[in-house]
Amino acid sequence: MATKDYYNILGVNKEASFDAIKKAYRSLAKKYHPDKNPNDKFAEERFKDIQEAYSILSDSNKRANYDRMVEAEKQGYFFDDMDSFFSGFNTHRENAQVKFDDFGGFGDLFSRIFDKTDRSRSKTRPKRGADINYELAIPFEKAILGWETVISITRDEECPTCQGSGARLGTNVQKCPDCGGRGKIKFTQGNFSVNQTCPKCYGRGIIIPVPCTTCNGVGHFQQVRRIPINIPPGIENGMRIRVPGQGESGVSGGPNGDLYIIAKVMEHKFLKRQGDDITCEITIDFIQAIMGVTVVVSTVDGKVRLNVPAGTQPGTILRLKGKGIKKANGDGNGDQLIKVNVSLPKNITEKQKELLKKFREE
């Protein structure tokens, strides 16, 4: 089998989605990061393996080639590492190295293993980084009034040591000797000439003789960043806020992706939203409804005193002007609407009955 089982390293199965792979990587990277384990050599090596596994499984092309390598090994071919997979085949039975100019007998296997897409262009052309979606739980009051906060995200960034080249400081990438920098090789099989993605450089046209020690030649790595976020007043559940340039790092000089904050507004035990207004309910007894009363009511910016006038009927809506949500057109705020419920006693004494009869007669 392959020198390293990348799926096992990340603790995911072969059918794992990109999101599952990314989630597993983040969890393990935090656990085994050298900064958190300064005296643990095992953690350092584990961290390198985790980075290597993620660099392969997070790239659809690399992952596909890795899966093909595993499949080929199951059929009896042995590879010392990923490079040997692309430079030749060594069978268990014959222990014979097969070179590119000798494809007789396993051309079909070769065709299955190597993809036929031109990846050299996609590798060298500047490419925009991926966007990041981040669900942010927002307290109800903060969603109404606005909120300045800071979030932590883990994102893919260009390696600052090699500036994305993958080569160790003081060294350079080199033109691939097998394809001459073209990213493709040409070979003859029977009466046909076939152009194929170069297995030495994986179609990039370059090789890295001395990999960068920071990113292990990948050119990028996962980094935790704290990003200030400004939540505008009146944001609703499910709304998205775009933070330009705070997504994943671009490739080959391409621009960064964007960060999208997805609002998850938390429920309030007393207040609810209704358009630009805020609604709530209070309950008073029938004596208070008859005579009037002053009650304390919660609003998004504190408690206020509310006068309930005498003779208030059940279901009456009282209004606190300007205590609602800032209107989108800038024309002030909505109101807070208070529905008044009136509670009636279930049991009364004989004396209370007499008093109520006398009240009704008068």
Domains, the chain, ranges and CATH?
6-113 (1.10.287.110), 272-361 (2.60.260.20)
β-strand partners of 39: none
- Per the listing, tokens 């989605």 go with 17
CA-wise closest residue to 181 among 123, 250, 113: 123
Residue 57 predicted with pLDDT over 60? yes
Q: Which region among 1-15, 166-180, 277-291 has the lowest average model confidence (pLDDT)?
A: 1-15
- Residue 84, pLDDT score: 41
Tokens of 275: 């358009």
What does the alpha-carbon distance between residue 142 and residue 301 come to, in Å, rounded to a whole number?
10
Residue 34 predicted with pLDDT over 50? yes
- Residue 124, pLDDT score: 52
Average pLDDT estimate for 305-310 = 96
Provide the pLDDT confidence category of residue 129 given band limits of 50, 70 and 90: confident
Provide the pLDDT confidence category of residue 311 given band limits of 50, 70 and 90: very high
Q: Which region among 68-72, 153-157, 358-362 has the lowest average model confidence (pLDDT)?
A: 68-72
- Residue 203, pLDDT score: 77
Residue 85 predicted with pLDDT over 70? no
What does the alpha-carbon distance between residue 82 and residue 64 come to, in Å, rounded to a whole number?
12
Q: What single DSSP character describes residue 333?
A: B
Residue 292 vs residue 251, higher pLDDT: 292
β-strand partners of 319: 337
pTM here is 0.56
Please report which helix (H) or strand (E) contains residue 222, including its range.
strand 220-231
- Per the listing, tokens 């009927």 go with 313
Provide the pLDDT confidence category of residue 333 given band limits of 50, 70 and 90: very high
CA-wise closest residue to 147 among 23, 33, 300: 300
What does the alpha-carbon distance between residue 150 and residue 277 come to, in Å, rounded to a whole number?
28
- Residue 302, pLDDT score: 92
Q: What single DSSP character describes residue 95?
A: -
- Per the listing, tokens 């000089």 go with 253
- Residue 118, pLDDT score: 36
Tokens of 352: 């209370």
Provide the pLDDT confidence category of residue 3 given band limits of 50, 70 and 90: low
Side-chain-facing half-sphere of 182: CA atoms under 13 Å: 10
- Residue 32, pLDDT score: 84
What b-and-e string marks burial along 159-168, b requiring 16 or more CB atoms within 10 Å of the CB? bebbebbbbb
Give the list of residues 6+ apart from residue 65 with CB closer than 8 angstroms, or none: 85, 86, 113, 114, 115, 202
- Residue 191, pLDDT score: 61
Average pLDDT estimate for 231-243 = 93
What b-and-e string marks burial along 334-356, b requiring 16 or more CB atoms within 10 Å of the CB? bbbbbebebeeeeeeeeeeeeee
| 3-state percent breakdown (helix, strand, coil) of the chain, nearest 5 | 25, 30, 45
- Residue 96, pLDDT score: 32
β-strand partners of 194: 187
Residue 156 predicted with pLDDT over 70? yes
**3-state DSSP call for residue 330?**
coil
Angle (CA) 58-180-171 rounded to 5° is 65
β-strand partners of 186: 195
| Crossing angle for the helix pair 60-74 and 41-57, to the nearest 10 degrees | 100
- Type of residue found at 99: K
